[in-house]
Amino acid sequence: QKEVEQNSGPLSVPEGAIASLNCTYSDRGSQSFFWYRQYSGKSPELIMFIYSNGDKEDGRFTAQLNKASQYVSLLIRDSQPSDSATYLCAVNGVRNVTYKYIFGTGTRLKVLA
Amino acid sequence: DGGITQSPKYLFRKEGQNVTLSCEQNLNHDAMYWYRQDPGQGLRLIYYSQIVNDFQKGDIAEGYSVSREKKESFPLTVTSAQKNPTAFYLCASSYGQGYFSNGYTFGSGTRLTVV
């Protein structure tokens, strides 16, 4: 089992819809969780992070963390074509290792105009 | 504006050649990292440094070397011992570490190709 797993996609959603991206992790002791957006050929940029169970909202983005079920989600409301990118989930504290993040392979999102 | 600068953007390496990738940050971050990204794989950690004059191997350090003589700079050398160096190389920095980190800031990356 991979330490951080994401469906590679592509996930296709129509413009204006809600895009839901999911990430599961193997270590229940993991501490902090990050979502990055990466456009093709570019470097990742941080969207948001979450530490505690529940929801965290920032503009059109909502991160949801469920530590009991070991998953973290990113919801993008009112999806725009400019949201089309690969979304990377990163987890810190896997196996008590805190000096690095473990990255998933990313989910490719396509927002159709 | 604060940020991380990587150079060059594209780099071509001949067989048996060492090349050095530059990474400079003006964010006053203590921790710096080098990751490698290959298609279909997650980012993999090459080296990291938590403080000046100290650095540690990551998961795939073989064939690479680094130095951290200044807080702002963390160059990566890809040596001839690295047999499959073609990849997208990302430098990152963070203010804190682990639970106290608010995430990495990445540079724009260097795409290295063996010719």
C-beta of residue A19 within 8 angstroms of C-beta of residue A83: yes
Closest CA to B71 of B89, B91, B50, B92: B50
Per-residue model confidence as pLDDT tens digits over B76-86: 999 988 889 99
For residue B99, pLDDT over 60 is answered with no
Q: Which of A101-105, B20-24, B69-73 has the lowest mean pLDDT?
A: A101-105
Q: Which of A10-14, A34-38, A98-102, B29-33 has the lowest mean pLDDT?
A: A98-102
Q: Which of A60-64, A92-96, A99-103, B34-38 has the lowest mean pLDDT?
A: A92-96
For residue B97, pLDDT over 70 is answered with no
Three-state SS at B86:
coil
Rounded to the nearest angstrom, the gap between the alpha carbon of residue A84 and the centroid of all alpha carbons in its chain is: 14
Q: Can the peptide bond before residue A14 be classed as cis, meaning omega within 30 degrees of 0?
A: no
For residue A38, pLDDT over 80 is answered with yes
The tokens for A15 are 């413009």
Mean pLDDT of chain B: 91
Of residues B1 and A3, more confidence is placed in A3
Pick from A8, A43, A92: which is nearest to B99 by CB? A92
For residues B31 and B47, what is the distance between their CA atoms, to the nearest angstrom? Answer: 11
The residues in B 80-109 lying below 8 A from A, measured between CB atoms, are 90, 97-99, 101-109
Is residue B40 within 8 angstroms of chain A, CB to CB? yes
Please report the pLDDT score of residue A97 as a whole number. Answer: 76
Start-to-end CA distance of chain B, whole Å, equals 36
Rounded to the nearest angstrom, the gap between the alpha carbon of residue A8 and the centroid of all alpha carbons in its chain is: 12
Q: Do A42 and B109 touch (CB under 8 A)?
A: yes
Task: Find chain A residues with C-beta within 8 A of B48's C-beta.
Answer: 99-100
Segment A91-110 mean pLDDT: 87
In chain A, the percentage of residues whose pLDDT exceeds 70 is 100
Pick from B90, B104, B108: which is nearest to A46 by CB? B104
Please report the pLDDT score of residue B41 as a whole number. Answer: 82
Please report the pLDDT score of residue A69 as a whole number. Answer: 94
For residues B38 and A37, what is the distance between their CA atoms, to the nearest angstrom? Answer: 16
Beta strands in A59-95 (DSSP E): 61-66, 71-76, 85-92
Segment B48-61 mean pLDDT: 94
Please report the pLDDT score of residue B74 as a whole number. Answer: 98
The residues in B 58-77 lying below 8 A from A, measured between CB atoms, are 58
Please report the pLDDT score of residue A29 as a whole number. Answer: 86
**CA of A43: which chain B residue's CA is closest?**
B108
